Amino acid sequence: MFKYKDEIENHLIYDIIPFWKKLRDDEYGGYYGYVSYDLDIDEKAVKGCILNSRITWFFANAYDVTADETLLAEARHGYEFLRDHCYDRENGGVFWSLNYDGTPADTTKHTYNQAFAIYALSSYYAVSHDAEALNLAYDLFDTIEEKCRDDEGYLEASTRDFKPESNEKLSENGVMAQRTMNTLLHVFEGYTELYRVGHNEKVSERIKWILDTFADKVYNPKLHRQEVFFDAHYNSLIDLHSYGHDIETAWLIDRGVEVLGDPAYEAKLTPITKDLTANIYKVAFDGHSLSNECERGVVDTKRVWWVQAETLIGFLNGYIKDKSHKEFLEGAESVWEFIRDNVIDPRCREWYMHVDPEGNPEKGRPIVEPWKCPYHNGRMCFEVMKREF
């Protein structure tokens, strides 16, 4: 039995939800895009479309676990912003970001961004039964399949009218990737949710293709990890082990295989997800928290907020899959203790972006920005509340 289930549920209801409700913009739509380390809200900041997709997804799922009608209203507010402002009615697809007033700022069409809009729209449909939202999700699915991939896989960045563009937005560590594990993972995540709510066979076929690609080209069985950045032919570009993505991938693939319901893919992927979970526990977990990544043998020891959230879910998932691994349950409990005591900002009860291994916050890092949202920590709460231990 996970001993902190009630504590985490209370954190969701009394801390995370109230914080994000306060960021609602009733004048221009969506949610404010930036809160500084000093907790100042910048009402004129750029509004990331990923941020607003994730907030919409968050409120839809918060409603699902609480039945609080005010949260359905928040999800509706987020959905209307996605529909009316983030979506490009002329060219299709979702922009990268908007100005504070809802006009386009960065018109890049990134495959990653389309996937998160699908994720949000699918979850919103599940709780609202609004067919318009589901139709928009399928429209974005068609956009990805027709304009954001080639014969070998998914592309990354495009211009507003879907011409190829360099991938600065999801490349880092000194490389410029033509394909990334991260984009593939979140296309899979969005498609899993779309298939869960719609059971469309075209979607299931693409899920199978993605699972095969993870197993055959992204997963490195010799190093018990995923590769991260690739050229167009899935040759790895850098010696990089992303600890957070590996533990996140392990449980997201398990979830996707469960939703898919195909025993052949369960047999193919389960040994991989077990291997990823076990290796992260072995090489990256110090007994209370997870380092960020290891590049060319050098470990980045900062404790990133989302990595801790995904570690807790991933370890719980590993324990549920095989209860002989009591160490995973104990590890999840230790991670929560670290989060509770160090990562949650006592001033506002949302999470710091980074802390060091001793739990000291990295001052100056914003509390909200285009990537910092209630998706990872909110999802951690939802998963703990929904799962049987």
Of all residues in the chain, what percent carry a pLDDT higher than 70?
100
Q: What is the mean pLDDT of the chain?
A: 97
What is the tens place of the pLDDT at every residue in 324-366?
Answer: 999 999 999 999 999 999 999 999 999 999 999 999 999 999 9
What is the tens place of the pLDDT at every residue in 205-250?
Answer: 999 999 999 999 999 999 999 999 999 999 999 999 999 999 999 9
What is the tens place of the pLDDT at every residue in 252-292?
Answer: 999 999 999 999 999 999 999 999 999 999 999 999 999 99
pTM metric for this prediction: 0.98
Contact criterion met (CB below 8 Å) for 237 and 170: no
Q: Look at residue 141 and tell me whether its pLDDT is greater than 80.
A: yes
Q: Look at residue 204 and tell me whether its pLDDT is greater than 90.
A: yes
Q: What residues pair up with 361 in beta bridges, in sequence order? A: 355
Question: 365: phi > 0 → left, psi -120 to 50 → alpha, else beta; which?
Answer: beta
Residue 171's pLDDT is what? Answer: 77
Would you list the DSSP string of 265-282?
HHHHHHHHHHHHHHHHHH
Residue 173's pLDDT is what? Answer: 81
Name the packing angle between helices 49-66 and 69-81 (round to 10°).
Answer: 160
H or E segment and range at residue 355: strand 354-355
Residue 238's pLDDT is what? Answer: 97
Q: Look at residue 301 and tell me whether its pLDDT is greater than 90.
A: yes
Residues 58 and 136: their CA atoms lie apart, in Å, by 18
Name the packing angle between helices 305-321 and 243-260 (round to 10°).
Answer: 50
Q: Which domains does the chain have, with CATH numbers?
A: 5-386 (1.50.10.10)
Residues 377 and 240: their CA atoms lie apart, in Å, by 25
Contact criterion met (CB below 8 Å) for 375 and 54: yes
Contact criterion met (CB below 8 Å) for 160 and 117: no
Question: 334: phi > 0 → left, psi -120 to 50 → alpha, else beta; which?
Answer: alpha
Of all residues in the chain, what percent carry a pLDDT higher than 90?
96
